[in-house]
């Protein structure tokens, strides 16, 4: 069987990085880990190059090469690929996709290069590289977006997931409106999707700001509020502590059997709604799934609303207070 690679020691200044290429993106911390790994153990995998016009063109290993340059290395042991240049393009794509995150715009650039040189379909590219057809198609759609959106993607203002969501919006005016809201308010993909579907952003019930990471408190009660992180910290400084206490209490009630988690397939009459349906039968009560869910919600709200009353109580006092109020 013909060997695909030949190991050679190559001067680093003879290795050219092509203009159209992809790379496994690493943040500062990941690069530091790579540097320490190379310092301690050396290279586990040599960079891959292809010989071209008396020089060597990099196929895979840009991050490793940069670390070695930084350390002042003059030569590096490389795997010289013996196939054609178009084969090297495919190897490059597969290698970098397997090693880390590749941006959609880089992926599209390589798709176009492969199609131009080899006339391969997306299905064929997918089969060779292991990258799903849906991911390849998504990259093509993202690359067709407006310059402003692609620029924001390149500078890290939005993610590939944001860009893919924007690519799904057919109307340009609506697409640019959603994009503007993402940039202005730092919307998550989920928030941006909700804005696209409903055309509005929920506002903080205290300060009135919109498009923030809002949290609901006192859900399903007259006191229900959507509040931003700043107002939550300012007006409800102990809310996290209370919610944590409520969660711990729920877990204890579930473990003790006070709150059921299993439902029998037999039908019983629910003591709350009087409906005859699948229900959990306990020693002193029988409750259906729907009422069980409502009871959990009531208890959740009750513990949250009690606020400072909970703070210094033991569990026995807490039970008496909660169930008296219910």
pLDDT given at position 7 = 86
Name every residue whose Cβ is closer than 8 Å to that of residue 4 and which is 6 or more positions away in sequence: 81, 82, 83
CATH class entry, domain 5-143: alpha beta
Along the 326 residues of the chain, how does pLDDT read in single tens digits?
356 678 888 888 888 887 655 555 555 665 666 667 666 666 667 888 888 777 888 877 777 888 888 888 888 888 888 777 667 767 767 766 665 567 788 788 878 877 877 788 888 888 877 788 888 899 899 999 999 999 998 888 999 899 999 999 988 998 999 999 889 888 888 888 888 887 666 778 888 877 656 777 766 566 677 788 888 888 877 776 776 777 677 777 767 766 655 544 556 667 667 676 665 555 445 667 777 777 667 666 655 555 545 555 555 555 555 444 43
Q: How many Cβ atoms from other residues are within 10 Å of residue 119's Cβ?
A: 9
pLDDT given at position 283 = 43
pLDDT given at position 325 = 41
DSSP 79: E
| CA 303 from centroid of its chain's CA atoms | 32
pLDDT given at position 145 = 93
pLDDT given at position 101 = 60
Interatomic CA distance for residues 155 and 152, integer angstroms: 5
For the chain, the domains span 5-143, 150-198, 202-237, 239-325
Interatomic CA distance for residues 303 and 267, integer angstroms: 31
Which ranges of 22-83 would DSSP assign to H, the alpha helix?
A: 28-41, 62-70
pLDDT given at position 322 = 47
pLDDT given at position 299 = 62
Say what the pTM is. Answer: 0.48
Interatomic CA distance for residues 218 and 133, integer angstroms: 45
């Amino acid at each position: 069987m013909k060997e695909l690679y030949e190991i050679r020691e190559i001067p680093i200044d003879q290795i050219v990085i092509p203009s159209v290429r992809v790379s496994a993106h690493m943040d500062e911390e990941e690069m530091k880990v790579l540097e320490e790994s190379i310092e301690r153990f050396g290279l586990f995998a040599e960079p891959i190059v292809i010989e071209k016009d008396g020089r060597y063109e990099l196929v895979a290993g840009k991050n490793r090469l940069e670390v070695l340059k930084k350390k002042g290395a003059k030569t590096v042991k490389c795997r010289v690929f013996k196939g054609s240049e178009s084969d090297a393009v495919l190897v490059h794509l597969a290698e970098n996709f397997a090693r880390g995150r590749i941006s959609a715009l880089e992926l599209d650039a390589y798709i176009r290069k492969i199609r131009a040189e080899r006339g391969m379909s997306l299905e064929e590219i997918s089969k060779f590289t292991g990258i799903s057809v849906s991911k390849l198609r998504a990259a093509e759609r993202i690359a067709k977006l407006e310059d402003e959106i692609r620029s924001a993607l390149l500078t890290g203002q939005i993610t590939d997931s944001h860009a893919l969501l924007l690519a799904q919006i057919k109307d340009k005016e609506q697409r640019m409106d959603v994009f503007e809201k993402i940039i202005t308010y730092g919307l998550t993909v989920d928030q941006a999707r909700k804005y696209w579907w409903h055309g509005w952003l929920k506002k903080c019930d205290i300060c009135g700001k919109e498009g923030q990471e809002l949290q609901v408190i006192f859900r399903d009660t007259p006191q229900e509020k959507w509040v931003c992180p700043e107002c939550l910290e300012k007006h409800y400084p102990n809310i996290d502590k209370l919610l944590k206490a409520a969660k711990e209490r729920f877990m204890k009630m579930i473990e003790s059997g006070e709150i059921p988690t299993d439902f029998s397939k037999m039908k019983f009459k629910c003591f709350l709604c009087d409906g005859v349906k699948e229900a959990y039968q306990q020693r002193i009560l029988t409750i259906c799934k729907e009422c069980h869910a409502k009871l959990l919600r009531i208890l959740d709200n009750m513990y949250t609303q009690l606020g400072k009353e909970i703070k210094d109580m033991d569990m026995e006092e807490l039970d008496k207070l909660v169930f008296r109020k219910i």
